[in-house]
Amino acid sequence: MTALSNRALNRALLGRQFLLARTDHTPLEAIGRLVALQAQEPNWPYVGLWSRIHGFTHSQLTTLLQDRKVVRSGLLRSTQHLAAADDFRRLRPLLQPVLDRTARSAYFARNSAGLDTASLVATGLELLAGAMTPRKELARRLAERHPGRDGRILAGEVELRAPLVHSPATGTWGSWGTRSAVSVTPAETWLGRPMAPVTAKDLIRRYLAAFGPAGTMDVQAWSGLTRPGSHR
């Protein structure tokens, strides 16, 4: 067996990431290859795709968001990512333990102490009623149902524990000013299809295709899952 040098490993990673040379793949194909694009800041995915794709334009990604082919939501490491709609349906259930772990942190737990988690999520989904609803409005309604608690934190916990997606406007270029006006809706309603979880093996194969060669610790750091091979 030939040991690969650091340079060879780095070049392999850059090649798989379309960062050695721009590709002729479509934006949707590139997003699928990369599994998900970091989108904590709405502009980042645009820059990431422009760096990788020949002739990429702003409207190509914006149209994918508007056409519901790509969605923005909490995903890897509980942070905001863009993913192809079908990938989100498959990956979000598998990654739900990561988001649940964040929802159990002290920041959320102090505010929801004494509340039944399943009931809180059910109430949040009931208040959303399948519609695209501003976070501020969801927070206000949850605070009315649970006096004395911070509705913003309750809304944040619901968003972590249930597969909600953001309005397309939140994920488009230059939308920093809309962060405080993010709207969310249940993913299954927005996409018109149910969640369809894959196995951890599927996720690991996707990771290696985009980021390999890599080891177990690399997969854990990327996904947020601990012991990814133990998840089904």
Domain limits of the chain? 6-219
The pLDDT tens digits of the residues spanning 95-145 come to 999 999 999 999 999 999 999 999 999 999 999 998 999 999 999 999 999
Q: What is the dihedral of CA 230, 12, 49, 198, to 10 degrees?
A: -20
Instruction: Give the position of tokens 């405080």.
Output: 180
Quick one: pLDDT at residue 230? Answer: 57
DSSP state of 212: -
Q: What is the pLDDT of residues 70-80, one digit of tens each?
A: 999 999 999 99
Q: Tally the C-alpha atoms within 13 A of residue 203's C-alpha that lie toward its C-beta.
A: 29
Segment 33-84, tens digit of pLDDT: 999 999 999 999 999 999 999 999 999 999 999 999 999 999 999 999 999 9
| Euclidean distance between CA atoms 9 and 6, whole angstroms | 5
**Sheet bearing 80-84, strands edge to edge:** 37-38, 80-84, 70-74
Check: pTM over 0.75? Answer yes or no.
yes
Q: CA–CA distance from 121 to each of 46, 112, 152, 159 (Å)?
A: 32, 11, 14, 9
pLDDT on residue 177: 47
Confidence band, pLDDT 50/70/90 cuts, at residue 9 = confident
Q: Name the one residue in this structure whose structure tokens are 């000013």.
A: 177
